[in-house]
């Protein structure tokens, strides 16, 4: 769903709030939520903090930073929260006005989704056909590997067994949730990341390549090192690397080059933690896999974040395991 602005009016007609509809959800800042729910803004902020602290929702999937016009008429970077967060805060507020807004937002989203489906019905049907074809191909090739690989007739196919297994596990929701490598992490300094970005500028003819728009990049770098009560939020090297790649792509912190910068920083982090090469100096992530994973992130929806990260973790885990087996 493309970005759209709707005006929400309270039942008594005394409140009019601009509501942004984008990426199949609703976005509001804390000021708007406080007005709609008829509570003070600090109460809304406190509820949001408690929701994140409890793990009920995660910031990466429910919060977006956007330039908005503040109450004083000036443009400022503000946190916008999606419908999941709005509903969670609304339940904690538990006011009639909160219920009224939830009903309105849900109804409007349903209208948008029905309209969007009608417009894109042909395209969706084509996509479903492509997915079904891919699934059938996976099943056929998997059977071919199992039944004929021992004969030597399909040795070339064995080289792609990991990729086929990943596709099948993606289809059946069996991707890895946790990384294999759990040890003390080496975090490259911020200046090292910027040195990599600076070295890339000569390769791309863009005067705005690598120019920061906000603090989103530094936020992504800091996020992977966070934890609570001595426990890392992302326990393994693979989970940290996957989160880093995802956040740098999705935060859009640079005027140009976000995907290229994200991929380079992903490689820098892996290299610092001896996760870039297997035994014998073989790269664990090929050029093609790096490009595909980065583009996969860029085209994904916020609600698909966990699945996307699982795929990256699975690629790193299984490529690592394959080199262990090959070297034994």
pLDDT of 221: 93
**In angstroms, how far is CA 180 from the centroid of its own chain?**
21
Q: CA gyration radius for the chain?
A: 23
pLDDT of 78: 84
* Cβ proximity of 250 and 297 under 8 Å: yes
**What angle (nearest 5°) sits at the alpha carbon of residue 61, between those of residues 57 and 63?**
90
Residue 36 to residue 199: CA distance in whole angstroms: 48
Same structural domain, 82 and 19: yes
* Cβ proximity of 267 and 187 under 8 Å: no
pLDDT of 1: 44
Same structural domain, 53 and 76: yes
Residue 39 to residue 47: CA distance in whole angstroms: 11
The 3-class secondary structure across 73-136, one letter per residue, is CCEEEEEEECHHHHHHHHHHHCCHHHHHHHHHHHHHHHHHHHHHHHHHHHHHHHHHHHHHHHHH
Same structural domain, 200 and 300: yes
Same structural domain, 166 and 209: no
Instruction: With respect to residue 181, please indicate whether it lies within any of the assigned structural domains.
Output: no
Confidence (pTM): 0.52
Same structural domain, 23 and 85: yes
Instruction: With respect to residue 180, please indicate whether it lies within any of the assigned structural domains.
Output: no
Closest by Cα among 256, 242, 247 to 293: 242
pLDDT of 324: 40
Instruction: With respect to residue 194, please indicate whether it lies within any of the assigned structural domains.
Output: yes
**In angstroms, how far is CA 118 from the centroid of its own chain?**
27
Residue 224 to residue 246: CA distance in whole angstroms: 11
Same structural domain, 69 and 153: no
Same structural domain, 105 and 149: no
Instruction: With respect to residue 128, please indicate whether it lies within any of the assigned structural domains.
Output: yes
User: What residue ranges of the chain have pLDDT lower than 50?
Assistant: 1-2, 114, 116-120, 137-138, 140-142, 144-152, 154, 156-160, 323-328
Same structural domain, 258 and 203: yes
pLDDT of 28: 82
Helix (H, G, I), strand (E, B) or coil at 47: helix
pLDDT of 225: 92
Residue 42 to residue 248: CA distance in whole angstroms: 30
**What angle (nearest 5°) sits at the alpha carbon of residue 218, between those of residues 205 and 258?**
30
Q: Which tens digit of pLDDT belongs to each residue from 59-108?
A: 888 888 877 666 566 777 888 888 888 888 888 876 677 777 777 777 76
Question: Which residues constitute the domain of residue 319?
Answer: 190-327
């Amino acid at each position: 769903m493309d970005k759209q602005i709707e005006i929400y009016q309270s039942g008594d007609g005394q409140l009019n709030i601009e509501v942004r509809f984008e990426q199949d959800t609703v976005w509001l800042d804390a000021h708007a939520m406080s007005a709609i729910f008829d509570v003070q803004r600090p109460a809304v902020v406190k509820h949001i903090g408690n929701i994140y602290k409890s793990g009920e929702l995660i910031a990466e999937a429910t919060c977006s930073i956007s330039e908005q016009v503040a109450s004083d008429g000036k443009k400022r970077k503000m946190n916008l929260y999606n419908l999941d967060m709005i509903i969670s805060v609304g339940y904690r507020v538990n006011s009639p006005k909160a219920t009224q807004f939830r009903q309105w937002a849900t109804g409007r989203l349903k209208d948008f989704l029905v309209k969007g489906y009608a417009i894109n019905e042909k395209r969706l049907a084509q996509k479903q056909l492509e997915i079904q074809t891919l699934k059938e191909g996976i099943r056929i090739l998997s059977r071919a590997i199992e039944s004929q690989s021992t004969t030597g007739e399909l040795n070339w196919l064995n080289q792609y067994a990991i990729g086929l297994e990943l596709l099948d596990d993606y289809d059946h929701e069996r991707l890895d949730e946790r990384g294999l490598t759990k040890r003390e992490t080496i975090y490259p300094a911020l200046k090292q990341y910027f040195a990599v970005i600076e070295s890339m500028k000569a390769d791309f003819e863009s005067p705005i390549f690598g120019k920061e728009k906000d603090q989103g990049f530094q936020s992504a770098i800091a996020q992977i090192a966070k934890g609570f009560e001595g426990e890392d939020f992302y326990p393994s090297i693979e989970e940290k690397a996957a989160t880093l790649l995802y956040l740098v792509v999705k935060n859009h912190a640079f005027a140009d080059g976000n995907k290229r910068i994200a991929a380079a920083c992903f490689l820098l982090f892996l290299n610092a933690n001896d996760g870039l090469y297997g035994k014998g100096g073989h790269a664990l992530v090929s050029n093609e896999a790096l490009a595909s994973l980065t583009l996969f992130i860029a085209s994904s929806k916020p609600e698909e974040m966990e699945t996307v990260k699982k795929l990256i973790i699975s690629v790193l885990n299984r490529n690592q395991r394959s080199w262990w087996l090959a070297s034994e």
